[in-house]
């Protein structure tokens, strides 16, 4: 492969879409696309000079252990090409080869990766390990707009060595923690049960799981306490409404019955009216955590999915860099220009236009800052978007506009009503001045309870008074949005890693559900680690190293000092683990078996009433569903997806009546499906050829289950060898 160019400047980009956007922004004419398949680069001229924008696909290098072996602790690691370290990264090989080839003929190099720790590491590794250089001009930008890309090209900065060092430190720390303690847990199971089952933990993963596990315990250990409420059906003005007794919880039923008796059949009268005006400030601009939380709240997209959507909007030049801690919008982004561009869209013309009429534009801001990027904001660019992108973009635009709005005013009203000498009340809420909520659109909608005009002393018609049996509720589960804020409050993870950590917990089967529930395996793992090696779930230790990395980024610490401290801590933890290896292994094995048993049961067989369970074909490694009634002749069986954690939903398909399962493939969105491959819900999934394939596979699995059954006693075996040994026992007994 040859670029066809000589004497050009190579611009290192983080992603293919960034490579195209940067080339289009800088070129005097139209850039020329070169390369094969998806691994392409762009050639162009500017001011008579030749340039090439070549993309990586994230990290082209990763850390890997030097040499072989599965002992721990291990600290001898090195940077190697990602495609050589992991088969899952094979897609990066053509991009690596392109970068390597283009670097040979490049006279100069410019780094144009995203400006954060990860982007700096990506760019610096390519610069050092492929281009053979230690420094280069650095394009620094927060949006992929033509204006900002041009400015960052004309006025480049330098490689931020402190940021590189902080990024390197994070990679080494995560490698040390993840590799050593995942090995420790896995080897503990192997010592205990002579089985190989990978259980992972990590520097941030462990404390996050422990935090969620503690919350899960509060929910499961919660004992509801009975209480009683009283409500009255009344007519206020011409409005039918319910009034509540002044005590929101009555703990003795006798007291509630006494109030009920003295109120029943009595007339009511208004005894007091209290009004209060509340002023609500505009919302703060979005940082990463609040943005992902609101995307989940309004649209239900998981943090991992939401970040991918936000990233695509950034790459298209529609919003600013979505990984930031900042809640501030600096004036140099040019508020009026952005709002003016937004106003060109008919959807926002009225609201954006009203802001432009203000004498001064000043956004509401929060206290959090970020040295690399401002808060998230729309650029004002107009491009075609998909449905998901449009939703997230609309939220970003509305939030940005709302930040510049006027305070909203709301009135709360409390009307007290005496019924038989007992005080009941009704609450009303209404918006007096919408202010910023009008700019926020549907996201700023507030619940309105408009009460009729009422005066003190007015008579109130009482239709009936009722007593309600209630129970106290357990703590609410975290949503996938609220958990990010909780992690931030606890100082666990960073703006860039929290969504990834949550996704890992799902992929490992440690947590399930949209409202996060910790699985039995997750609970047991968190308990075992807390009981035996508290440092592996310590939020304090995680925060300590996060603080040290911030100090490295600020030039106040050295990478090697931090890594040296980490190695000593890991060695100490490793010694404690090895001392308790058998005990930890026994506990982990019990947890794994219990979880596997629970996950394997999917529901009841419609044919014989037996139990449908997940089985594995030990010859092919494929999973399938079989019925426990096969000993009695039931041959019901279904194929299963090859990859992903399978969980029962305890629901059945309304069409075929088979159990509905949830499948969570690694790194992708979970999906739900019923077991029957011929169900009409799968008409769009499978063509006839595919349908026949899964039907044949189901028959083969069923036949195999029949074949591996003892003819004498009917007991099932997992393999032909096990069956042979079992039959030999019968022969010996005879």
- With tokens 């009283």, the residue in question is 230
253-262 long-range contacts, CB within 8 A, separation 24+:
253/226, 253/228, 256/228, 256/229, 256/230, 256/467, 257/467, 259/230, 259/422, 260/230, 260/465, 260/466, 260/467, 262/420, 262/421, 262/422
What's the angle, vertex CA 535, arms to CA 529 and CA 536, rounded to 5? Answer: 50
Residue 288 token pair: 């990463």
Round to whole Å and give the CA distance between 651 and 412: 43
Residues present in the chain in total: 734
DSSP state, residue 476 = P
Round to whole Å and give the CA distance between 342 and 439: 13
Starting at the edge strand found earlier in the chain, the sheet holding 601-604 runs 601-604, 611-616, 623-627, 637-639
- With tokens 């060695």, the residue in question is 571
Q: What are the Cα distances from residue 643, in Å, to 338, 507, 668?
A: 45, 11, 11
Q: What SS3 string covers 408-447?
A: EEEEEEEEEEEECCEEEEEEEEEEEECCHHHHCHHHHCCC
Q: What is the sign of the dihedral through the CA atoms of 500, 505, 506 and 507?
A: positive
**Strand, helix or coil for residue 644:** coil
On whether the CB atoms of residues 80 and 70 are closer than 8 A, the answer is no
- Number of Cβ within 10 Å of residue 387's Cβ equals 6
Round to whole Å and give the CA distance between 397 and 284: 13
Burial 481-515 (b: 16+ CB within 10 A, else e): bbbbbbbbeeebbbbbbbbbbbbbbbbbbbbbbee
**Strand, helix or coil for residue 655:** coil
Round to whole Å and give the CA distance between 165 and 162: 5
What is the set of active-site residues?
Answer: 321
**Strand, helix or coil for residue 531:** helix
Round to whole Å and give the CA distance between 174 and 28: 43
Distance, first Cα to last Cα, the chain: 73
């Amino acid at each position: 492969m040859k670029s066809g160019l000589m004497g050009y400047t190579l611009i290192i980009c983080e992603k293919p879409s960034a490579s195209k956007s940067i080339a289009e922004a800088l070129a005097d004419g139209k850039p020329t696309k070169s390369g094969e398949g998806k691994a392409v680069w762009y050639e162009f001229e500017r001011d008579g000079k030749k340039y090439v924008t070549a993309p990586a696909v994230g990290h082209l290098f990763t850390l890997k252990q030097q040499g072989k072996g599965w002992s721990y602790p291990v600290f001898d690691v090195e940077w190697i090409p990602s495609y050589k370290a992991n088969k899952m990264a094979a897609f990066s090989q053509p991009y690596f080869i392109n970068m390597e080839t283009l670097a040979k003929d490049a006279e100069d190099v410019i780094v144009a990766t995203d400006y954060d720790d990860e982007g700096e590491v990506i760019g610096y590794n390519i610069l050092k390990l492929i281009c053979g250089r230690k420094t280069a001009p650095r394009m620094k930008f927060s949006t992929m707009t033509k204006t900002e890309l041009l400015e960052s090209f004309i006025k480049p900065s330098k490689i931020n060595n402190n940021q590189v060092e902080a990024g390197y430190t994070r990679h080494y720390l995560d490698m040390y923690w993840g590799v050593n303690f995942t090995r420790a847990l896995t080897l503990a199971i192997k010592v205990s049960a002579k089985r190989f089952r990978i259980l992972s933990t990590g520097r941030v993963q462990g404390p996050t799981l422990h935090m969620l596990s503690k919350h899960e315990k509060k929910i499961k250990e919660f004992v509801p306490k009975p209480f009683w409420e009283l409500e009255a059906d009344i007519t206020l003005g011409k409005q039918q409404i319910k009034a509540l007794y002044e005590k929101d919880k009555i703990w003795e039923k006798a007291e509630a019955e006494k109030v009920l008796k003295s109120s029943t059949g009595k007339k009511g009268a208004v005894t007091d009216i209290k009004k209060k005006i509340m002023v609500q400030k505009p919302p703060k601009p979005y940082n990463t955590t609040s943005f992902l939380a609101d995307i989940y709240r309004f649209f239900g997209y998981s943090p991992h999915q939401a970040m991918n959507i936000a990233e695509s909007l950034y790459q298209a030049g529609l919003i600013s860099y979505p990984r930031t801690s900042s809640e501030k919008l600096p004036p140099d982004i040019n508020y009026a220009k952005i709002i003016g561009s937004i106003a060109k869209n008919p959807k926002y013309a009225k609201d954006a236009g009203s802001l432009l009429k203000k004498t001064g534009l000043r956004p509401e801001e929060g206290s959090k800052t970020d040295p690399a990027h401002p808060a998230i904001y729309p650029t004002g660019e107009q491009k075609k978007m998909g449905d998901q992108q449009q939703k997230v973009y609309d939220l970003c635009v509305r939030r940005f506009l709302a930040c510049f709005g006027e305070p909203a005013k709301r009135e709360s009203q409390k009307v007290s009503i005496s019924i038989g000498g007992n005080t009941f009340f009704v609450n009303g809420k209404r918006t007096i001045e919408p202010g910023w909520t009008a700019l926020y659109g549907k996201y700023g909608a507030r619940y309105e309870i408009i009460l009729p005009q009422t005066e003190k002393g007015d008579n109130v018609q009482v239709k009936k008074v009722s007593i309600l049996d209630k129970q106290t509720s357990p703590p609410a589960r975290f949503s996938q949005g609220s958990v990010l804020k909780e992690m931030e409050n606890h100082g666990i993870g960073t703006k860039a890693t929290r969504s990834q950590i949550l996704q890992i917990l799902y992929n490992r089967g440690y947590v399930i559900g949209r409202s996060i529930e910790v699985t039995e395996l997750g609970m047991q793992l968190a308990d075992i680690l807390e009981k035996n090696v508290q440092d592996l779930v310590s939020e304090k230790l995680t925060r300590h190293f996060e603080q040290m990395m911030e100090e490295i980024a600020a030039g106040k610490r050295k990478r090697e000092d931090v890594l040296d401290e980490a190695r000593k801590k890991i060695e100490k933890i490793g010694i404690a683990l090895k001392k308790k290896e058998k005990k930890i292994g026994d506990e982990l094995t019990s947890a794994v078996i219990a979880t596997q048993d629970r996950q394997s049961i999917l529901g009841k067989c419609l044919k014989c009433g037996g139990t449908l369970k997940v089985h594995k074909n030990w010859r092919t490694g494929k999973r399938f569903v079989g019925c426990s009634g096969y000993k009695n002749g039931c041959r019901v069986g279904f194929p299963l997806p090859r990859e992903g954690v399978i969980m029962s939903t305890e629901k059945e398909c309304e069409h075929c009546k088979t159990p509905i399962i949830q499948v969570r493939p690694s790194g992708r969105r979970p999906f739900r499906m019923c077991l029957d491959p011929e169900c009409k819900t799968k008409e769009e999934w499978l063509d006839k050829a595919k349908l026949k394939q899964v039907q044949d596979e189901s028959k083969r699995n069923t036949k195999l289950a029949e074949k591996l059954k003892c003819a004498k006693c009917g007991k099932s075996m997992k393999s032909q060898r096990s069956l042979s040994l079992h039959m030999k026992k019968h022969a010996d007994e005879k």
